[in-house]
Chain A
Amino acid sequence: MSNNSFSRRGVLKTGMVASAGLALPQYLRAQESGFTNAPGASEVILGFNVPQTGPYADEGADELRAYELAVEHLNGEGDGGMLGTFSSQALEGAGILGRRVGYVTGDTQTKSDAARASARSMIEKDGAIMITGGSSSGVAVAVQALCQEAGIIFMAGLTHSNDTTGKDKRANGFRHFFNSYMSGAALAPVLQAAYGSDRKAYHLTADYNWGYTTEEAVRTSTEAMGWETVNTVLTPLTQTDFSSYIAPVLNSGADVLVLNHYGGNMVNSLTNAVQFGLREAQANGKNFEIVVPLYSRLMARGAGSAVAGIFGSTNWHWSLQDAGSQAFVRSFGTKYGFPPSQAAHTCYVQTLLYADAVTRAGSFNPCAVVEALEDFEFDGLGNGPTLYRGEDHQCFKDVLVVKGKENPENEFDLLEIVEITPVAQVTYPADHPQFAGGALGTCNPGA
């Protein structure tokens, strides 16, 4: 025991400090601009929050390349890329509203917590006015909610789950990428044409939100055209060997296997399925077939020759011949030496769309940006005429149905486009049951 005791002076001092400490935070931070992180006169900071480690690090690296390219183009460096083909000609390569575009990067680690920590540091420390990125729906949804709270615009990167613009939609969040419903709606007619309408499907589904929405979307669309769903089996996300899940498929009476897997999961499950000889097998007097609802070039590269002849859907592919896609592939290829992935494309486009919306609105205020983006129609960004629907902040555009190439010429030329499904066929009402149970709320300018 010490003999120290509180002196009168000490108590008074401590009390004053403590009461000052309590009083300070009550003084809310008010900015003259009326919104969070209003940029200065010379520079505006964007936050690129992508997975640099973890299962989607490949996608993340490609997204980051695309962001760097977009910043270059916005600042008037390089060849301008899609700025020249974009139907809105508000951007002139002089930054955004005369401010030079700078950026900060962060690692989401494909974990909601880490992604939010990284996004918060961008907002609180670096003063980012917009956050973009994400290579998984969980992360996108988590960061979107954070941006809504903080009063920052979130431009989602690669996120395919219905929930992002469904039950977890937010007023400050926007998604250019397509979703599970669109995959199902685009795939069904192609599958019907190729495999007929009398088929029995067996689903292997990754056991998390994206898997559930994708399975539901594909099942609903295929059942609508006459297919029967024999069984759906959930597989753990961390599974690397799918033999025990594939083995029962052949004797189940099914003749189509749908793999609702993404990334490493899909690479492993597809490889296993091909090794088990499912491609050569016969069932119900028909050839056995495999379908992968969401394809990406990076996944196709991982699965190698196993992807040959397998159908799937994708948001964009570098082999598209429209002027916008060509301009983007050219600038990306010149800078990095290989064609961009669909993740890179959607991220690049999102950055441009944000910059354009700010320019058209004439303000960085999130509410003005939201207003400029809602029901915005544009063209020339690689997907044909596109609508940013105001009711759920989802882009509506054509969806590509692709097939793994039988004889790829090089490691980038793995997919061929089978059909470009027109936008009308993948459009759904905002209150569709697969998207039910969420509310956009109102835009939040923060501060």
Chain B
Amino acid sequence: MLGLEKKDFQLLLIVIGLTLFAPFLLNPFPEGSDLAQFNAGYPDLMQRFVIFGIFAIGFNILFGLTGYLSFGHAAFLGAGSYGAVWMFKLLSMNVLPAIAISVVIAGLFSLLIGYVSLRRSGIYFSILTLAFAQMSFALAYSVLTPITGGETGLQLALSDPRIFGAAQTATGNIPVPALFGLEMRSSFEWNVGAWLFTFNAGYYLAAFFMIIAFYISIRIFRSPFGMMLRAIKSNQTRMSYTGLNARPYTLAAFVISGMYAGLAGGLMASMDPLAGAERMQWTASGEVVLMTILGGAGTLIGPVLGAGMIKYFENIFSKINETILHGWFAFLPDGLEDVVVAMIYPFIGKGWHLTLGIMFMLVVIFLPGGLVQGGQKIGALFSRKKAEETKPNATEPAE
């Protein structure tokens, strides 16, 4: 169906199902209970899950298939968001032109950087992309302040022209990004007993784009072009001896993944109309590498899982503070409570990086194929025969 094999189509259906019902799946705990702390079903985080999912899917097309490790992908995300915010400032608050321009700008930008960087491979390529991204960050942070807003970030203002839309609303405020009048931050809240589910317009728009992005990624993985990219990963020298020039293929993969990053950047700006230079910093580039490896590089669903996992840690674990911990362990005797809290505290709250680092190490050491491999191992435990059958299918690492 849709030009996909049965397995891939099922995977696509699973992804569609997950994104469609995310507001339910991410809010498993009743509102007001102690565990509501772990609910992730609020618009901002749901949007981030899918947006970074798109970013990681795109990165995986480059890294997972060709093995070229780009350390500067955040630059394209940043360029995309700047483009989108400028569209909001100059044109109108409709998100479609903003998203379109962000993809175009990121595509052109990645063509430029890819053309230069892809003259080298391996670590030299990584360093080149890293250098370009840091250069973009430094430019955006200070030299290009008139275009990028510098440290403060590029923001909307009441005085923006907005040729095809109102410069300000009737009440004198800055209009918010919308899709033909449907505001991105408008939500429908549904109370079911003790549970509260939020359905956000922006989330569903981003989810729609992610499903498209995921579908295109499956098609690329299964196409002759994808096969060529895998060939580059497995042995580029042999490829050139057979008379094939690898560079057009790598450049195409680089630009495609750059456009994915631009799409993610444009969506980010559409959900929250601000573009900050930090989006281009090397830590942001490193994050997408982590997402991809954590989830499983070269697999289809892996990067999405990795992105979700990291964003969950960043937004949920970092907000658990000492007071909440004391609340959890209040049933323990006083001295013991303090000891337990002191032992756990370094790993949550501001220490969430530490927990994530440990998790990442464990995954790399014990599950080189990422979370996807973990899932496969668990699946194999339950049915040996089935696991052997499914081995040569969609969710296997490229090598």
Residues on A facing B (Cβ under 8 Å): 1-2, 4-5, 17, 21, 24-29, 52-53, 57, 104-107, 111-114, 116-118, 120-121, 124-125, 136-138, 141-142, 145-146, 148-150, 161, 163, 168, 207-210, 212, 234, 236-237, 437-439, 441-442, 444
Q: A25-B182, A113-B276, A212-B145 are in contact. List 16 more A-B contacts (CB 8 A).
A: A2-B5, A4-B1, A5-B1, A53-B353, A113-B278, A118-B319, A124-B43, A124-B198, A125-B44, A145-B274, A148-B174, A208-B151, A237-B141, A442-B172, A444-B171, A444-B173
Which one, B116-124, B153-161, B356-364, B382-390, is touching chain A?
B153-161
Known contacts A208-B141, A442-B173: does B199 contact A25 (CB below 8 Å)? yes
Known contacts A124-B43, A145-B155: does B278 contact A107 (CB below 8 Å)? no
User: Cα distance A234–B314 when bound, in Å?
Assistant: 34
User: Cα distance A441–B158 when bound, in Å?
Assistant: 7
Query: Which of chain A's residues have a CB closer than 8 A to the CB of B142?
Result: 207-208, 234, 236-237
B186 at the interface (CB under 8 A from A): yes
Residue of B nearest to A28 (CB): B186
User: Cα distance A132–B142 when bound, in Å?
Assistant: 27
B9 in complex: contacting residue of A2, A26, A125, A237, CB < 8 Å: A2
Nearest-Cβ distance from residue A141 to partner chain B, whole angstroms: 5
User: Cα distance A117–B39 when bound, in Å?
Assistant: 16
User: Cα distance A414–B295 when bound, in Å?
Assistant: 50
Query: Which of chain B's residues have a CB closer than 8 A to the CB of A234?
Result: 142
- Residue-by-residue, is B126-156 near A (CB-CB < 8 Å gives 1, otherwise 0)? 0000000000001001100100001111011
B278 in complex: contacting residue of A25, A104, A114, A439, CB < 8 Å: A114
Interface residues of chain B: helix, strand, loop or mixed (majority): mixed
Query: Which of chain A's residues have a CB closer than 8 A to the CB of B45?
Result: 121, 125
Nearest-Cβ distance from residue B208 to partner chain A, whole angstroms: 10
Query: Which of chain A's residues have a CB closer than 8 A to the CB of B350?
Result: 52-53, 57, 107
Known contacts A168-B155, A208-B151: does B44 contact A117 (CB below 8 Å)? yes
User: Cα distance A21–B199 when bound, in Å?
Assistant: 9
Q: Are A21 and B204 in contact (CB under 8 A)?
A: yes
Query: Which of chain B's residues have a CB closer than 8 A to the CB of A1?
Result: 3, 5
User: Cα distance A148–B105 when bound, in Å?
Assistant: 29
User: Cα distance A141–B22 when bound, in Å?
Assistant: 32
Nearest-Cβ distance from residue B91 to partner chain A, whole angstroms: 19
Give the residues from 1 to 60 in chain B that come closer than 8 angstroms, CB to CB, to chain A. Answer: 1, 3-6, 9, 20, 39, 42-45, 48
Query: Which of chain B's residues have a CB closer than 8 A to the CB of A4?
Result: 1, 6, 9
Q: Are A142 and B274 in contact (CB under 8 A)?
A: yes
Query: Which of chain B's residues have a CB closer than 8 A to the CB of A21?
Result: 20, 199, 204
User: Nearest 6 CB-CB pairs, A to B?
Assistant: A112-B276, A25-B201, A208-B151, A52-B350, A120-B44, A442-B172
User: Cα distance A136–B20 when bound, in Å?
Assistant: 38
Nearest-Cβ distance from residue B240 to partner chain A, whole angstroms: 34
B168 at the interface (CB under 8 A from A): yes
Query: Which of chain B's residues have a CB closer than 8 A to the CB of A111?
Result: 276, 278, 281
